[in-house]
């Protein structure tokens, strides 16, 4: 059974995954808000619940393999694939950083039906790179599933079905248009700041 967007928002809120600050996104843009998916993905039961919703929505697509981009996409691809009873593969960044590729002996059969999944979609760049990697290896992409679409509906993939559990509009800015940069607010790249030590 597919869960509603308010439930997904609640899962992120309870996990402390909705952060406020001044963040550098993987797209190169800046944002006053950031969704730290690993605060959610650290909880296997919540991850299972979210992935179940994607898997149920994708059952009619004849999925044979689930592919996700590293890093968060590994967890999602694995769990969605487990629930669909198929295998999972992972697309890693190329050496030049301009795309993604399958390594570690992963192969796709010609015409193999692949669902591409990711965690937080901002511009759709990681998803598109994974789609390209699937197609370059002879697979057929049959759909895309994400936990959160923060592109405000701007990301689309050649008419492929898009399963987004939570659509949310979060502002982002080019660095030269960022109001927080203009105010001198320090910029943080998520995932690079060590967590504070917990004290007894």
Q: Is residue 86 part of a domain?
A: yes
Q: Is residue 197 part of a domain?
A: no
Average of per-residue pLDDT across 30-55: 94
Q: Is residue 121 part of a domain?
A: yes
Average of per-residue pLDDT across 29-45: 93
What residues have CB less than 8 Å from 53, skipping those under 6 apart?
1, 2, 3, 165
Query: What range does the domain containing 130 cover?
Result: 5-182
CA distance readout (Å), 102 to 117, 141, 157: 15, 15, 20
Structure tokens at 14: 């309870």
Q: Is residue 42 part of a domain?
A: yes
- pLDDT value at position 1? 66
Q: Is residue 102 part of a domain?
A: yes
What residues have CB less than 8 Å from 10, skipping those under 6 apart?
none
Q: Is residue 191 part of a domain?
A: no
Q: How far apart are the C-alpha atoms of 78 and 81, rounded to whole Å?
A: 5
**pLDDT tens by residue, 64-76:** 999 999 988 999 9
Q: Is residue 101 part of a domain?
A: yes
Which residue, 173, 168, 162, is CA-closest to 148? Answer: 168
- pLDDT value at position 158? 86
Residues paired with 89 in a beta bridge: 67
Q: Is residue 195 part of a domain?
A: no
- pLDDT value at position 98? 87
pLDDT at 196 over 80: no
Q: Quick one: which H or E segment has residue 200?
A: none
Domain count, the chain: 1
CATH of the domain at 158: 3.40.50.2020
Indicate the angle between helix axes 72-84 and 44-58, nearest 10 degrees: 60
Q: How far apart are the C-alpha atoms of 114 and 111, rounded to whole Å?
A: 9
- pLDDT value at position 194? 52
Q: Whole-prediction pTM value? A: 0.86
Quickly state the pLDDT bin for 200 (edges 50, 70, 90).
Answer: very low
Residue 39 sits at the vertex; the CA angle it makes with 33 and 42, to the nearest 5 degrees, is: 160
Structure tokens at 63: 């999925």
**pLDDT tens by residue, 94-131:** 998 889 999 999 999 999 999 999 999 888 889 999 99
Q: How far is CA 33 from the centre of its chain?
A: 16
- pLDDT value at position 57? 96
**pLDDT tens by residue, 135-174:** 999 999 999 999 999 887 778 898 899 999 999 888 889 9
pLDDT at 191 over 80: no
Residues paired with 24 in a beta bridge: 30
> To the nearest whole number, what is the mean pLDDT of the chain?
90
């Amino acid at each position: 059974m597919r869960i509603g967007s308010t439930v997904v928002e609640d899962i992120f809120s309870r996990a402390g995954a909705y952060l406020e600050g001044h963040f550098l996104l993987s797209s190169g843009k800046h944002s006053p808000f950031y969704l730290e998916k690993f605060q959610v993905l650290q909880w296997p039961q919540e991850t299972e619940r979210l992935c179940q919703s994607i898997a149920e929505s994708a059952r009619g697509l004849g999925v044979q393999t689930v592919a996700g981009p590293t890093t968060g996409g590994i967890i999602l691809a694995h769990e969605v694939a487990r629930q669909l009873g198929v295998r999972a593969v992972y697309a890693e960044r190329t050496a030049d950083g301009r795309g993604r590729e399958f390594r570690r002996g992963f192969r796709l059969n010609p015409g193999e039906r692949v669902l591409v999944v990711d965690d937080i979609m901002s511009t759709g760049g990681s998803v598109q790179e994974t789609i390209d990697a699937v197609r370059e290896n002879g697979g057929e992409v049959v759909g895309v599933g994400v936990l959160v679409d923060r592109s405000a509906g701007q990301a689309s993939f050649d008419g492929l079905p898009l399963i987004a559990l939570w659509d949310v509009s979060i502002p982002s800015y080019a660095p030269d248009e960022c109001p927080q940069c203009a105010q001198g607010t320090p910029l943080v790249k998520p995932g690079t700041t060590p967590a504070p030590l917990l004290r007894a």
